[in-house]
Amino acid sequence: MSGDWCPSTISRSRVCGIGDEAAAGGADQVLVHASLGLPGLELRTVDGRGLHELPWRRVRGLAAAVAAAGLTVPVLDTSVGNWATTVATDLAAELDVLTGSARAAALFGCRRLRVMSYPNDGRPEPAWRAEALRRMRVLTRRAEDLGVRLLHENCHGWAGQSAARTLELVAAVDSPALRLLFDVGNGVAHGYDPLAFLRDVLPYVDHVHVKDGVREPGGEPVFGLPGDGQARLTECIALLERHGYRGWYSVEPHVALIPHLGVRGDPAAQEAAYRRYVTAFLALLGALPAAVPVPASVPVPAAVPVAVPAHVQRAERGSSSPETTFSPLTADSGGAETLLSPVTADLRPSRRRLAR
């Protein structure tokens, strides 16, 4: 088979979705994903609050519901460095968010936390860059201590502005505790070619968000069903698969819910829109031919060597999984932090006219 083609090997077992895109409440998020037959649930907020903000009993209750439904939580999306922060946000508070999120994630057997790299507060670009990189180094060192991996999303923040900045971030932090979350649709929102971005950062992609849309003449993104927009979704999927990506594809429609814009539809309409989106994405995957064409333009770069901290090297020995093996932080019912024995995280992870 030509190097320009990629076998289509994606099944429903690698498709999950971001829970609060379907429903606000935790129980409803579990119910929707289980009823859709999806094996995974990516957690972001419950009733508008991050998991680190919830009472511990509620987090434990949600973890029990997720386990009872047989769902996997591959990633927990934190607010660290996101659109609600700037490079002036108190770093100690951000470290507390990270620690609380890792503690909650451990109850779900989850070791990967989504982060961003801090929007600017008006300072010159060199100062923004320096502070964003400093913060990401500090956060990643904390992640190493907690036994979790940070996934930087190509979204708001200094490093999310371009593939070159993203690669600079990875090189500057220089740790396997920092990898990338590639959101296919964010290129539409931020004005760059998603496929070109992906080609440059491909060796470091550890998780994928699925959304699609068009960019209007005034620059406003309008999101719709997968395959109908300008995100080059099937081309990105083909490139990922050809390169050996076998992780999750996590649905994030941004049709009835857009958190950073405060957009939330009627709950029933939101759930219905989410179900249509998941169904459309599964249909899109099912329609992919046995071999999917991949544009043969710029060659995929090799990964930049990174120095692996000694304690991480020790944790990784003996594991053949593509996911780094860590000792995750958790807590007992009294709040005392303890370390669980290392286990390998499961990496398995799915057309209408665009409308506002």
How many CB atoms lie under 10 A from the CB of residue 228? 18
Q: Is the dihedral of CA 97, 211, 203, 73 positive or negative?
A: positive
Q: Where are the domains of the chain?
A: 5-339
CATH architecture entry for 5-339: Alpha-Beta Barrel (3.20)
Question: What is the pLDDT at residue 238?
Answer: 94
Q: Are strands 15-18 and 205-210 parallel, antiparallel or unpaired?
A: unpaired
190 DSSP assignment: H
Q: 3-state class of 61 per DSSP?
A: helix
pLDDT value of residue 297: 45
Inter-CA distances, 49 with 76, 113, 209, 323, Å: 13, 16, 21, 28
> Pick from 121, 104, 122: which is nearest to 113 by CA?
104
Q: Helix axis angle, 91-107 relative to 125-146, nearest 10°? A: 40
pLDDT of residue 107: 98
Taking only the tens place, the pLDDT of each residue in 295-310 is: 444 344 444 443 333 3
Structure confidence at residue 351 (pLDDT): 28
pLDDT tens for 258-292 read 555 555 568 999 999 999 999 999 999 986 655 44
Q: In which residue are the tokens 């506002």 written?
A: 356
In order along its 356 residues, the chain shows pLDDT tens digits of 334 444 455 889 999 999 999 999 999 999 999 999 999 999 999 999 999 999 999 999 999 999 999 999 999 999 999 999 999 999 999 999 999 999 999 999 999 999 999 999 999 999 999 999 999 999 999 999 999 999 999 999 999 999 999 999 999 999 999 999 999 999 998 999 999 999 999 999 999 999 999 998 888 889 999 999 999 999 999 999 999 999 999 999 987 655 555 555 689 999 999 999 999 999 999 866 554 454 444 344 444 443 333 333 333 333 333 333 333 333 333 332 322 222 223 323 322 222 32
Give the length of the chain. Answer: 356
Q: Cα dihedral sign for 45, 50, 52, 55?
A: negative
Angstrom distance (rounded) from CA 284 to CA 149: 30
Residue 308 is encoded by which pair of tokens? 């692996």
